Amino acid sequence: MTTLDAKILRLEKRHKGLARICAAINDVYIYGVYESNYPALMEKLNEDKDACKEEIRDTHVEIVAETKANMLTESHDSPVEILEEPVEILEEDDHATWPM
**24 occurs within a structural domain:** yes
Looking at the predicted structure, is the pLDDT value of residue 86 above 70? no
Is 65 part of a structural domain of the chain?
Answer: yes
pTM of the complete model: 0.65
What is the pLDDT confidence band of residue 67, given thresholds at 50, 70 and 90? confident
Is residue 45 one of the residues assigned to a domain? Answer: yes
59 inside domain? yes
In a domain, residue 19? The reply is yes
Identify whether 96 is part of a domain. Answer: no
Tell me if 24 sits within 8 A of 46, measured CB to CB: no
Distances (CA, A) of 6 to 11, 13, 80: 9, 11, 27
Structural domain that includes position 40: 11-74
Mean pLDDT of the chain: 82
Number of structural domains found in the chain = 1
- Greater confidence, 71 or 6? 6
Cβ atoms within 10 Å, residue 60: 14
Q: Report yes or no on 48 lying in a domain.
A: yes
User: Mean pLDDT throughout 19-43?
Assistant: 95
68 within a domain of the structure (yes/no): yes
